Structure 1
Amino acid sequence: MPSATNASHGTVAAGFEEVRAEFTRVVADEPGLGAQLAVRLHGEPVVDLWAGAGVHGDSLLALYSSGKGAAHLVVALLVQEGVLDLDRPVAEHWPEFAAEGKGAITLRQLLAHQAGLIGVDGGFTTAELADDRLLAERLAGQRPYWRPGSAYGYHAFVIGALTGEVVRRATGRSIQELYRERIGLPLELDLHLGLPEELERRYVPVQPAPPTPIRNSDTPVPGSLTRIAFNLDATPPTDLVEFANTRAVRALGPTSSGSVGSARGLAKMYAATISVVGGRRPLLGAATLAEFTRLHSTGIDLVTGERDHFLLGFEAQGVRYPFLGRDAFGHSGAVGAQSFADPGSGVAYSYTRRRFAPGGGGGARENHRLAAAVLRAARR
């Protein structure tokens, strides 16, 4: 039985009792874990659970790269409306970007993590990582780390700043502003790219993962693409726990790394992309959905080692979780958060956690267990 601090709270719809049981087992397996799980089916909430000391259903947690999903939903809307063209060179919007042989890189290549622009020589400061405009300024003059279009690798800290600068040059508005006005506020989402001061009282600080033995094979080699992408060759290297727990980061809301919100907010956002939510038609039309959920980056990710990792802006969740449809899309977060929409089943899923998972990322073991239980219930 779970301890009192790890007892699960919340509700599930009829038929989703198995999901509550699995969530209860997950939090019992990791004493002290604070977590949230929210699921919508065809737009309607069917799972709303939470557990752990200090964590409630409306708690706001650091979601790290989960914000990439919100940012690239904005990009998808602009492509859908004809404001942006996926195959137009980035430098036509952003002339400074053409430096160091980058003039032919397209928005499509940016979104597919094929640009080779995963960081800068010497790394970034925390102030730069917190501010998408400063990141874009540094990246404009940086040479790519591989020939653009020849391979792909996770642009972990920078993809949102890169695509965000294209958006700013094309519209005069930041992704953060467009997200808030067009998605966050109309849908009343508890998901923020820039956390207002008045909501700080609901923020629950990140906790580090429990200490585990480190094998030499687990440590990226200095100068490797992995260390460059995760800013580990900077002085000092970025501490992800400290980064998220810094108020300036939460206030500015860098789209690649600084999102804050709840599982409810993420699940509702992904539901709204594929389903009617609150009487509003789905945000993405069939043609846009088909384009953005088509596998664009095949083979091995040079940064993470994952296979067939990216669609356009979103992670290929149907590759990570084979029980989902091939067009399932979403994004993980370094703490172990995961969220996605599965158009075929109508499921929108989000799992958030307060403590870093061993190994981090959306591949946290419990996501396989929880998402599988959700899909079984949904298909029944």
Structure 2
Amino acid sequence: MIVERALDARFESLRDAFAAHFERSDEFRDLGAGLVVYEAGRKVVDLHGGHQDADRRQPWTERTLANIWSASKGVMAVAIAQLVDAGQLDYAAPVARWWPEFAQAGKAAITLDQVMSHRAGLNGFAAPTSPEDLYDWERVTDRLASQAPLWPPGSTASYHGMTYGYLTGELVRRVTGLMPRDYISRHIAQPLQADLFLGVPPDRSDDVAQIVPPHDDLHPIALNAIAVGPTTNPTPDAAAANLPAWRQAQIPAVNIHASADGLARLYGALANAGQLGPTRLLSEAAIAAMVRPRGLPHDEMLGERQWAAGVALNRGGLYGQHDGAFGHSGWGGSFGCADPTSGRGIAYVVNRMGSALNGDPRARKLAQLATSL
């Protein structure tokens, strides 16, 4: 059953498409999901359905939190953009200005711009790294500070799947004195009144959806020597998202937990010139700086992808109908995006992960409808 907490009459076909995902006969059939759209700062769509758990005992509610995987990166992009907006960071400056240890092993010239656009040459770990290491902030950031680039920085873009969160998160810590968990809470989630957490609070543990790992990708992509970095050392394990240690950790590239409304509030502000209700998240100038294209529209791992400063620009219909849209998607199907043309911020969060590495068909369909109706 689909629960409609808000539905502007213009979006009935979007509701029908959302409902149809629970009836699919393939690996993209939804178990539980939420979909929220804000337009010009007003909520116009709020839908959820299905179950939080594979046994179908816990209904999905408006408070359900899902691990949004790499859609987390869009939240970190906003955190960095806020610090640029405040004059505390500078996209064009070397990372080592704020993190002196980062200058080791030939990295002195790597800029914040290169980190944000996946062009820093640090898309994996050189030293042996276990899944448990990912929970140790100091160990991982020290490791990244001391290692040499895996390929020439700035020469190309290749998705920094796991390392992006530590690189950006350590810059947040160096500049503000706050761990990324606390920065996100104070400067993004609380001002927006958004259910969005890097490390789930104990009193929200019952709201966390069980992640159902994806089937094997039916159309796997052959990765070259540059792109392979995020897929080994350690190998990503979707089932890890169900561990208490994962849910409580700070792995900012991949383990933010959000409700559909929580993530949509962030993108609703970005689509509305940076403001949602009384809260100004970013200035219009800061949004313009964040979405300026960096490099060519190609990623060694993801193929056609135009990176800006931590968000992907809309190419190939990834985020709907309009060229000005931008956002970030997560492994398995969750995504958030802003479409300034329509003034809409959109979020879709799921617990049964789809198998496609690039462009979940559920997400694409919803983004197309949400931006065109």
Q: Which TM-score applies when normalising by structure 1?
A: 0.89
Q: Aligned residue for 2:12? A: 17
Q: Aligned residue for 2:43? A: 45
Query: Are the aligned partners of 1:191 and 1:262 in contact in 2 as well (CA < 8 Å)?
Result: yes
Q: Aligned residue for 2:290? A: 292
Q: Aligned residue for 1:4? A: none
- The runs of 5 or more residues in structure 1 that have no matched partner are 1-6
Q: Aligned residue for 2:309? A: 312
Deviation at 1:360, TM superposition (A): 4.2
The answer to whether residue 25 in structure 2 is matched with residue 26 in structure 1 is no
Structure 1 residue aligned with 2:266, among 264, 269, 287? Answer: 269
Cα distance in 2, alignment partners of residues 311 and 14 from structure 1: 34
Q: Aligned residue for 2:277? A: 278
* Greater mean deviation of Cα atoms: 347-356 or 282-291: 282-291
Cα distance in 2, alignment partners of residues 131 and 61 from structure 1: 23
The answer to whether residue 146 in structure 2 is matched with residue 141 in structure 1 is yes
Root mean square deviation of aligned Cα:
2.0
Q: Aligned residue for 1:351? A: 348
Deviation at 1:292, TM superposition (A): 0.8
Q: Call closer, same or farther: CA 1:299–1:66 in 2, change over 3 Å.
A: closer
Deviation at 1:270, TM superposition (A): 1.1
Query: Are the aligned partners of 2:319 and 2:326 in contact in 1 as well (CA < 8 Å)?
Result: no
Q: What amino acid is aligned across from residue 24 of structure 1 in structure 2?
A: A
Deviation at 1:225, TM superposition (A): 3.3
Cα distance in 1, alignment partners of residues 33 and 67 from structure 2: 12
Alignment of 1:1-380 (within 5 A): 7-10=1-4, 11-30=6-25, 31=29, 33-54=31-52, 55-210=60-215, 218=221, 220=223, 224-230=225-231, 232-234=232-234, 237-239=235-237, 241-275=238-272, 276-280=275-279, 282-304=280-302, 306-321=303-318, 323-360=320-357, 363-377=359-373
Q: What amino acid is aligned across from residue 277 of structure 1 in structure 2?
A: L
Q: Which TM-score applies when normalising by structure 2?
A: 0.90
Percent pairwise identity: 32
Deviation at 1:27, TM superposition (A): 2.0
Cα distance in 1, alignment partners of residues 327 and 320 from structure 2: 15
Deviation at 1:227, TM superposition (A): 3.2
Deviations 1:314-346 (A, max 9, x none): 112345437443332211111211111111210
Query: Are the aligned partners of 1:295 and 1:308 in contact in 2 as well (CA < 8 Å)?
Result: no
Query: Are the aligned partners of 1:34 and 1:51 in contact in 2 as well (CA < 8 Å)?
Result: yes
Q: Call closer, same or farther: CA 1:269–1:133 in 2, change over 3 Å.
A: farther
Query: Are the aligned partners of 1:309 and 1:316 in contact in 2 as well (CA < 8 Å)?
Result: yes
Give secondary structure in 1 for the equivalent of 2:68. Answer: strand
- The runs of 5 or more residues in structure 2 that have no matched partner are 53-59
Q: Aligned residue for 2:56? A: none
Cα distance in 2, alignment partners of residues 374 and 329 from structure 1: 14
Q: Call closer, same or farther: CA 1:20–1:327 in 2, change over 3 Å.
A: same
Query: Are the aligned partners of 2:320 and 2:369 in contact in 1 as well (CA < 8 Å)?
Result: no
Deviation at 1:218, TM superposition (A): 4.4
Deviations 1:338-358 (A, max 9, x none): 111111210101111111102
